[in-house]
Structure 1
Amino acid sequence: MKKFLTVLSAITLVFTSCSSDDSPSEETSSGSLLTKIVETYDDGTVETIEFEYNGNKIVRQTSDLDVRDETIFTYTGDLITKEEYFFDDGEGYTMEEVISYEYDSNNRLIKSSRASTGLAEEDIFTYNSNSTISFTTTSTTTSPSTIVATGIIYLNGDQPYKKTITEYPGTIWESSRVEENEFDDKVNPLINVVGLSKTLIACPKYIYGYDGVSNNNLNFKRDNVLEESSTYTYNNNNMPLTENYIDTSNSDYNSVSQYFYN
């Protein structure tokens, strides 16, 4: 689950090889809200990601791998309307980024806006009658604004699973790709987080593929070439207990993840 939580949190989940004393018990792993992920990359790097809630609303996500790595969530009613991401590696690189969300009267995402230093993009979504969503991504960094991507998102029920995208259409840099995900039939760790699934289609130029709405990502292909795969063990609620993640394009991200619930 490389993009596990949000557009802003491009996290590669990994698992810590623990003794039996550190293994997730049913008490820590059979609740309904994901509270912590303990991860180890293949090089032995250990990272802990923690999630904070107000009821079933996600408030904050943090990682201990750098000096500061956190995402703060803002709700309007039951809809997530803003994510603020802050990063500081302690070695001179810092980053702040904001993604804003707008919805229609049916609580469907119709606009996502991403802004950081020197960059501003907006995505407009149009819902079609054939279970697809058309999108246009516009760069608003400079005036006049410029269309930098167009495409189609394919749905299976409420689950986005496929995207066709053309970047920089009509220019010498034009390129197209097809992205597709396959899911299991088990329960996604974040299924009970209010409003989160409605943001999954946001920033389609920026993020590759889709996380699960109800289920868990098994494979991600780009132009029919497998790039990511995951296998899981599950707890008594059929939610992931561990995940073995393989990135075929960059083995540095290969990992195993351990999930903890309330």
Structure 2
Amino acid sequence: MKKIVLLSSLVALLFSSCSSDDSPSHEDTSNVLLQKTITYGLDGSYETLYKYDGKKLLEARSSKENKKFSYQGENISKISWYDNPDTDNTLSQYVDFEYTADGKLKKFNQHSSYPLAVDFTYAGRDTVNFVAVAARSAYNFTGYFLVKDNEITEYVYLNGGTPRPSVRYQYDNKNHPLKNVTGYNKLSLFHYFYNSAHFNGFTTNIGSSKNCISNSLIANPNVVEIMNTYEYNDKGFPKTINKDSNTAADHLFY
């Protein structure tokens, strides 16, 4: 991820992402579901279409790849990635999930060329410890998350291999595009390790019910690793993400 030095422009960008319509709408938005995204990047643009069964997300398909979602009850049990969906539709990887008795994410296993297994333990209301084992790289690393209202507020790396530095997250008070998808908000910890929902610009939005505005290094808060800017529709959902980015931008339709 790009590291951006925090200058006075940060303040302006944060305010632009939280414009005058920042107050949450009192309108019922519980049935709003993302139907399509158009992603613009350096190599052109492409559409991703979303297919549902009620509020359960079945697939997110573009010309680049197709993600299929499997459920057990109200929990997402598996996500599978298929390359070249318009031709050979080859399974490239999949991730399966285990949950605690009260419905929290307990463990996920990524089955791919770079296998990864992560176990979570819950220490009190706001702290989640983890142990990650990256089989092919032959190292383990540990750390913890601070979580508030089901959003990651801090990631702290403790020891092991060479994961990214410890970071602190900020969010808006709007609606995440996938907020109403059944089981999606239980995977916020997984989204940190693997930005599972979409491509490019959208992958930086790791929020569960809100949208990630930025994250900064805890050791050096003057360094911002990610900054996102949003335009919202009248229901408080993003209609564009990073529209003026020179690498990737998303337009969203509900």
Bin of the TM-score, shorter chain as denominator length: 0.7 to 0.9
Alignment of 1:218-237 (within 5 A): 218-223=213-218, 224=221, 225-237=223-235
Cα separation, partners in 2 of 1:187 and 1:174, compared to 1, 3 Å: closer
1:191 aligns with 2:191: no
Counterpart of 1:260 in structure 2 is 253
Preserved contact between residue 99 and residue 115 of structure 1 (Cα < 8 Å): yes
> What is the letter of the counterpart of residue 106 of structure 2?
I
Cα separation, partners in 2 of 1:61 and 1:181, compared to 1, 3 Å: same
1:152 aligns with 2:151: no
- Give the Cα separation in 1 of the matches to 2:40 and 2:164: 34
TM-score (norm 2): 0.74
1:136 aligns with 2:131: yes
SS at match of 2:190: coil
Moved more, 125-134 or 72-81: 125-134
Give the Å deviation of 1:228.
2.0
> What is the letter of the counterpart of residue 229 of structure 2?
T
Preserved contact between residue 74 and residue 81 of structure 1 (Cα < 8 Å): yes
- Give the Cα separation in 2 of the matches to 1:221 and 1:95: 35
Counterpart of 1:52 in structure 2 is 51
Residues paired across the two proteins, number: 214
Which of the residues 113, 119, 122 maps onto 1:124?
119
1:210-238 residue CA offsets vs partner (Å, 9 max, x unmatched): 61122111112245321222222211211
Superposed CA RMSD in Å reads 3.0
Cα separation, partners in 2 of 1:182 and 1:204, compared to 1, 3 Å: closer
Give the Å deviation of 1:40.
1.5
Counterpart of 1:111 in structure 2 is 107
- Give the Cα separation in 1 of the matches to 2:48 and 2:236: 21
Give the Å deviation of 1:180.
2.3
Bigger helix share: 2
Counterpart of 1:18 in structure 2 is none
Cα separation, partners in 2 of 1:246 and 1:132, compared to 1, 3 Å: farther
Alignment of 1:210-249 (within 5 A): 211-223=206-218, 224=221, 225-244=223-242
Give the Å deviation of 1:81.
0.5
Counterpart of 1:26 in structure 2 is none
SS at match of 2:115: strand
Preserved contact between residue 192 and residue 206 of structure 2 (Cα < 8 Å): no
Give the Å deviation of 1:258.
1.4
Counterpart of 2:32 in structure 1 is 32
TM-score (norm 1): 0.72
User: Hey, which bits of structure 1, 4+ residues long, moved more than 4 A?
Assistant: 173-176, 203-210
Preserved contact between residue 161 and residue 210 of structure 1 (Cα < 8 Å): no
Give the Å deviation of 1:58.
0.4
1:63 aligns with 2:58: no
SS at match of 1:177: coil
- Give the Cα separation in 1 of the matches to 2:204 and 2:155: 7
* Unaligned residue ranges in structure 2 (runs of 5+): 1-29, 196-202
Moved more, 191-200 or 237-246: 237-246
SS at match of 1:199: helix
Give the Å deviation of 1:153.
0.7
Counterpart of 2:94 in structure 1 is 98
- Give the Cα separation in 2 of the matches to 1:44 and 1:147: 35
SS at match of 1:32: coil
Preserved contact between residue 156 and residue 167 of structure 2 (Cα < 8 Å): yes
Which of the residues 149, 155, 171 maps onto 1:163?
155
Preserved contact between residue 164 and residue 176 of structure 1 (Cα < 8 Å): no
